[in-house]
């Protein structure tokens, strides 16, 4: 296992324990993060997002596999199961993470998953009917960013 695979292992082992401090330590000083819910975040926004998600998690479990990395890039498959706090609905989200590293730290991190599938689980009928639409995707992102902005953790 090379140093970057070790970072991936450390990050997702910490995530499974909801240990946001260890997760935050895996990042460079000014990381960039992107996913379908939050969009693009940078620097302290990335650290705050993980702290918010970990401290607010309910009925959370995480499994990860296929953590692979070379000198600069790495990937990992992970699945989280949790209760979505806004609706109380159960979520199973399968994600492919893409990471870029510099000197043993994550400098770029993109999580790829099916937002329509996620919205159907999170919002039920409303997600089924509108989860594919730009309107619903924008509403999800707006609410996520508003929650992050208001997070006082």
**By the 8 A CB rule, do 46 and 31 touch?**
yes
* Mean pLDDT value of segment 39-44: 96
pLDDT (0 to 100) of residue 153: 63
Instruction: Please give the Cα distance from 128 to 151 (Å, whole number).
Output: 29
pLDDT (0 to 100) of residue 3: 95
Instruction: Please give the Cα distance from 97 to 110 (Å, whole number).
Output: 6
pLDDT band with cut points at 50, 70 and 90 for residue 88: very high
* Mean pLDDT value of segment 129-140: 78
Structural domains present in the chain: 3-113 (3.10.450.50)
3-state SS, the chain, equals CCHHHHHHHHHHHHHHCCCHHHHHHCEEEEEEEEECCCEEEECHHHHHHHHHHHHHCCCCEEEEEEEEECCCEEEEEEEEEEEECCCCEEEEEEEEEEEEEECCEEEEEEEECCHHHHHHHHHCHHHHHHCCCHHHHHHHHHHHHHHHHHCCC
CB atoms within 10 A of CB 147: 16
pLDDT greater than 70 at residue 114? yes
pLDDT band with cut points at 50, 70 and 90 for residue 142: confident
Tell the residue number behind the tokens 């199973």, with chain if given.
92
pLDDT (0 to 100) of residue 11: 98
pLDDT tens profile 54-87: 999 999 999 999 999 999 999 999 999 999 988 9
* Mean pLDDT value of segment 126-151: 84
pLDDT (0 to 100) of residue 126: 78
Q: Supply the pTM of this predicted model.
A: 0.92
pLDDT greater than 90 at residue 100? yes
Tell the residue number behind the tokens 């409303």, with chain if given.
126
pLDDT greater than 70 at residue 18? yes
pLDDT band with cut points at 50, 70 and 90 for residue 141: confident
């Amino acid at each position: 296992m090379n140093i970057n695979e070790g970072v991936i292992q450390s990050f997702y082992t910490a995530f499974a324990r909801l240990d946001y401090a260890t997760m935050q330590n895996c990042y460079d000083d000014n990381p960039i993060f992107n996913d379908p819910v939050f969009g693009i975040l940078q620097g302290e926004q990335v650290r705050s997002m993980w702290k918010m998600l970990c401290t607010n998690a309910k009925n959370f479990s995480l499994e990860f596999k296929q953590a692979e990395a070379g000198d600069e890039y790495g990937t990992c498959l992970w699945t989280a199961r949790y209760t979505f706090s806004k609706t109380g609905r159960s979520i199973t989200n399968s994600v492919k993470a893409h990471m870029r590293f510099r000197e043993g730290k994550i400098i770029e991190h993109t999580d790829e998953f099916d937002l329509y599938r996620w919205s159907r689980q999170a919002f039920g009928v409303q997600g089924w009917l509108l989860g594919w639409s730009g309107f619903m995707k924008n509403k999800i992102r707006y609410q996520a960013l508003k929650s992050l902005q208001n997070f006082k953790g």
